[in-house]
């Protein structure tokens, strides 16, 4: 016989703790083997949790001891030739490099480890301590150092060469990276403020500031991981207070994860294998004495939250909860700058895999053919378009490996040209039926909807034309209700799109129309009417748009919930003609554009909008 719950009820999962944001968020620290020699301000190389190396430290007396870790116990190896603390470490546990340091005086001594003992090599150019290091024994990089240096040097296995400086000089910093062309410098001590949250990434040519940590710190355990995922733990704040908290960098932003078991300062951070999920720290000063203790971090597969999940917390709160993604509370943060200025860009992809194609670089550059791709932190130049062009609607469809670019403005005027990207080259395809610029569009490489735009001069030139692409040709679809240019498309498919804002001979620039795969319907207007808008993240029923132009440059961001528009956090730089994309409203990237502060070539600025999940208690009202 069925019971009432089986007839009318529903099952709710019972959890002892709230779900975490990610496997990293659910990870934890556990005790590892204790070093034979307790020490602080020690250095470490890359490797793994089962093959790590620590050397130097103390002070005074200065320490020369080297120890190797097998995942269980530490074993003493050959001593450094010159005892010292605060070296920059790089390499593996059998092929390491230690550079600089301090033993009563700041040093530029460099030593190489072969798994057994150390050999002195060519000194680096600038003596320093408390610097960061990254790379390998034969291709490394050293950066920063005391007193608040911004000097960076690259090592080729035989000599040191000065390269581009850090944007902000600092010492007592965290550094990581597996090559000398991809390194991270995070937090540290600067002249003002004395302790910083700044993070910079090195791409082999220059340093770029990216998202800041949540907690300012110095003498953090050197960062474990790489430039796309990293962990920093411990250190001290300006108080000074010894810290236990740890943070995880996912290539875009820093998130708090579980604390160290023991708060500590000046411990050795091991750049283990470029894998943040298997980080470790060793030694340090938890107070009142130094320690030889090791802690190892391990991420887990569960619990991992999913949006809309309802559950009962059976321990800490005894409450029903739901996991939500509160986009209205999201924020904008700086991302990596593009290599080339430009505005009126074509754009596509996601927040961590975006593409900028073409654009306008102002005189004498003119219409651009250059292409760049974004991995969530840095931009990389790619194969150029066949036709240099721009488009004030930011139109583009697909992904960074399967893209479509269509229409726009080229020399000597508007174009209907369509180009297909297969991951290695661009190929010309059938032209649009209506030649135009300032058009909007959404969809994929094989299923795109293009609409609106301007097909001729003056007010009569605005278009309400709508066309569908099937991978081979364009076919006319029912027209929009109102002709306009500078329009932007929000959506991910050719059968569900929102044509938002724009300019026209009659309609308000606040106007929006919804496409359901068959026809266009006018829907609620935006709060700030504008054209040449940037971000077009999300779907036709839940998305955002940002920036644009009215009679001036606009920074406003608005969220569409399928019924109405709501103002949310503004972008930092007001601009128009911006590239922007994101498959969800809570993860959008915008880039380039023309602002009041830019020259005629536009800007390289990138901003990222993020709204993370939260666990919210369900209450009755």
User: Can you give the pLDDT at residue 8?
Assistant: 56
Residue 8, CB-side half-sphere exposure with 13 Å CA sphere: 1
Taking CA atoms, 181 is separated from 184, 195, 202, 423, 528, in Å, by 10, 26, 7, 23, 43
Annotate 174-192 with b (16+ C-beta within 10 A) or e (fewer).
bbbbbbbbbbbbbbbbbee
Cα angle for residues 403, 407, 409 (degrees, 5° grid): 120
pTM of the model: 0.59
Q: Which two tokens stand for residue 227?
A: 């430039």
Q: Which residues, in sequence order, are bridge partners of residue 478? A: none
Q: What is the DSSP secondary-structure string of 301-349?
A: S--B--TT-EEEE-SSS-EEEEEE--GGG-EEEE-PPPSS-BBS-EEEE
pLDDT confidence of 196, banded at 50, 70, 90?
Answer: very high
Where in the sequence of the chain do the CATH 2.120.10.80 domains occur? 29-298, 341-612
Q: Which comes out higher in pLDDT, residue 229 or 103?
A: 103
Could you tell me the CA-to-CA distances from 154 to 159, 160, 181, 612 in Å, in that order?
A: 8, 5, 9, 37
Per DSSP, what are the bridge partners of residue 557?
546, 568
pLDDT attached to residue 612: 67
Residue 460 burial by Cβ neighbours in a 10 Å radius (0-12, 13-18, 19+)? exposed
pLDDT tens-digit readout, 487-507 = 999 999 999 999 999 988 866
pLDDT cut 70: percent of the chain above it: 91
Q: Which residues have CB under 8 Å from 518's CB, separation 6+?
A: 478
Q: What is the pLDDT of residue 36?
A: 95
For every residue of 31-86, DSSP letters joined together read E-PPPSS--SS-EE-S-BTTBEEEE--BSSSB---EEEE-SS-EEEEPPPSS--BS
d(CA 587, CA 538) in angstroms, rounded, equals 8
Copy the structure tokens of residue 280.
Answer: 């470790």
pLDDT for res 100: 96
Q: What's the distance, CA 115 to chain centroid?
A: 36
* pLDDT(305) > 70: no
In what helix (H) or strand (E) does residue 5 lie, and over which residues does it extend?
helix 4-8
| Block residue for tokens 């010894």 | 242
Closest CA to 155 of 130, 183, 189, 129: 183
The larger pLDDT score, comparing residue 612 to residue 224, is at 224
Give the class (CATH, top level) of 341-612.
mainly beta
Please check the confidence at residue 239 and state whether its pLDDT lies above 70: yes
Q: How far apart are CA 619 and CA 97, in angstroms?
A: 57
**CA 473: distance to chain centroid?**
36
Q: Does residue 354 contact residue 396 with C-beta atoms inside 8 Å?
A: no
Point out which residues pair with 99 in neighbouring strands. Answer: 88, 110
pLDDT at 107 over 90: yes
Which pair of structure tokens corresponds to residue 242?
């010894």
Which CATH homologous superfamily contains domain 29-298?
Kelch-type beta propeller (2.120.10.80)
Which 3 state secondary structure label does DSSP give 600? coil
Give residue 288's pLDDT. Answer: 87
Q: Read off the pLDDT of each residue in 31-51 and give the average, rounded to a whole number.
A: 87
Q: What is the gyration radius of the CA atoms in the chain, in angstroms? A: 27
Q: What mean pLDDT value characterizes the chain?
A: 89
* Strand 397-398 versus strand 379-382 pairing type: unpaired
Residue 614 has pLDDT above 80, yes or no: no
Residues 509-568: pLDDT tens digits?
A: 899 999 999 999 999 999 999 988 876 788 899 899 999 999 899 999 999 999 999 999
Instruction: Report whether pLDDT(68) > 70.
Output: yes
Please give, one letter per residue, the 3-state secondary structure of 380-443.
Answer: EEECCCCCCCECCCCCCEECCCCEEEECCECCCCECCCEEEECCCCEEEECCCCCCCECCEEEE
pLDDT tens-digit readout, 200-210: 999 999 999 99
* Model confidence at 449: pLDDT above 60: yes
pLDDT confidence of residue 301? 59
Rounded CA gap, 394 and 486, in Å? 9
Two tokens, residue 595: 């602002």
Query: Which tokens belong to 247?
Result: 């943070």
CA neighbor of 218 nearest in space, from 202, 244, 194:
194
Strands 553-560 and 543-549: antiparallel
* Per-residue DSSP letter, 539: -
**pLDDT tens-digit map of 453-466:** 999 998 899 999 99
């Amino acid at each position: 016989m069925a019971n009432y719950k089986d007839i009318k009820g529903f099952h709710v999962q019972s959890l002892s703790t709230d779900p975490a944001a990610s496997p990293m968020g659910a990870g934890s620290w556990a005790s590892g083997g204790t070093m034979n020699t307790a020490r602080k301000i020690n250095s470490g190389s890359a490797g793994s949790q089962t093959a790590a190396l620590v050397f130097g430290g103390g002070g005074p007396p200065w320490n020369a001891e080297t120890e190797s870790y097998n995942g269980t116990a530490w074993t003493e190896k050959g001593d450094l030739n010159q005892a010292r603390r605060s070296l920059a470490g790089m390499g593996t546990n059998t092929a390491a490099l230690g550079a600089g340091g301090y033993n009563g005086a700041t040093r530029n001594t460099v030593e190489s480890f072969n798994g057994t003992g150390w050999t002195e090599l060519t000194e680096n150019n600038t003596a320093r301590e408390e610097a960061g290091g990254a790379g390998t024994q034969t291709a490394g990089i050293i950066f920063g150092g005391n007193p608040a240096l911004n000097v960076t040097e690259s090592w080729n296995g035989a000599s040191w060469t000065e390269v581009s400086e850090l944007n902000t000089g600092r010492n007592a910093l965290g550094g990581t990276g597996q090559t000398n062309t991809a390194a991270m410098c995070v937090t540290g001590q600067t002249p003002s403020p004395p302790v910083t949250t700044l993070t910079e990434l090195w791409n082999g040519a220059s340093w770029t500031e990216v998202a800041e940590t949540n907690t300012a710190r110095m003498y953090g355990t050197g960062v474990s991981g790489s430039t796309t995922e990293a962990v920093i733990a411990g250190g001290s704040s300006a108080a000074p207070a010894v810290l236990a908290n740890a943070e995880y960098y996912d290539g875009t932003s820093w998130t708090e994860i579980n604390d160290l078991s023991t708060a500590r300062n000046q411990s050795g951070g091991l750049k283990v294998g470029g894998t943040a999920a298997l980080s470790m720290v060793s030694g340090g000063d938890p107070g009142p004495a130094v320690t030889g203790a090791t802690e190892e971090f391990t991420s887990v597969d569960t619990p991992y939250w999913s949006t809309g999940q309802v559950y009962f917390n059976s321990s800490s709160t005894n409450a029903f909860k739901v996991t939500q993604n509160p986009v209205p509370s999201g924020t904008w943060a700086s991302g990596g700058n593009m290599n080339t200025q430009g505005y009126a860009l074509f754009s596509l992809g996601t927040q961590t895999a975006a593409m900028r194609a073409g654009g306008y670089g102002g005189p004498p550059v003119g219409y651009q053919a250059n292409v760049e791709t974004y991995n969530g932190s840095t931009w990389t130049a790619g194969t150029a378009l066949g036709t240099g062009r721009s488009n004030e609607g930011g139109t583009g469809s697909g992904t960074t490996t399967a893209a479509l670019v269509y229409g726009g403005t080229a020399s000597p005027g508007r174009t209907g040209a369509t180009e297909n990207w297969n991951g290695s080259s661009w190929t010309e395809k059938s032209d649009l039926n209506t030649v135009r610029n300032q058009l909007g569009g959404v969809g994929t490489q094989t299923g795109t909807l293009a609409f609106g735009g301007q097909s001729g001069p003056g007010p009569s030139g605005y278009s309400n034309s709508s066309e569908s692409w099937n991978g081979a040709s364009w076919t006319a679809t029912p027209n929009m209700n109102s002709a306009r240019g500078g329009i932007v498309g929000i959506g991910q498919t050719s059968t569900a799109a929102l044509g938002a804002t724009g300019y026209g001979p009659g309609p308000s620039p606040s106007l929006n129309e919804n496409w359901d795969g068959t026809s266009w319907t006018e829907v609620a207007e935006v709060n700030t009417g504008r054209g040449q808008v940037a971000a077009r993240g999300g779907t036709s029923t839940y998305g955002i748009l940002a920036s644009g132009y009215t009679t001036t440059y606009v920074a406003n961001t608005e969220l569409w919930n399928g019924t109405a528009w709501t103002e949310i956090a503004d972008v930092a730089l007001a601009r128009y003609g911006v590239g922007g994309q994101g498959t969800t409203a809570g993860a959008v990237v915008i880039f380039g554009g023309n602002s009041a502060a830019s020259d005629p070539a536009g800007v390289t600025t990138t901003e990222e909008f993020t709204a993370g999940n939260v666990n919210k208690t369900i209450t009755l009202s």
